Amino acid sequence: MNYETKSPLMSRGVLGGAIALLSGAAGMFDYSVSPADQVEMVQLVISVVSGVGGILAIIGRVRASKRIGPITGR
């Protein structure tokens, strides 16, 4: 079995549920979000989270104090 994990922010199920919840809450204020718009919102959030992750990885590497080298046995 494969037991790899991922961040909840990268889970379409979690994001979809959160967006559905927010869409329902928006409906209380007479703002409607179509199911197609909800799907687009999930894709947008995933893209933004991926982009932010990439930027943080680059910033982390630039600010790192040690060089990257080969893995050696200890």
Is residue 2 predicted with pLDDT exceeding 80? no
Domains of the chain, by residue range, sit at 8-62
14 Cβ partners below 8 Å, 6+ apart?
A: 8
Q: CA 6, 7, 11, 17: dihedral to nearest 10 degrees?
A: 150
Rounded average pLDDT over 9-16 = 78
CB 7 within 8 A of CB 22: no
- Say what the pTM is: 0.58
pLDDT digits (tens, 9 = 90+) for 13-65: 888 888 888 888 888 888 888 889 888 988 888 888 888 888 988 888 888 88
Q: CA 1, 43, 33, 16: dihedral to nearest 10 degrees?
A: 20
CB 19 within 8 A of CB 45: yes
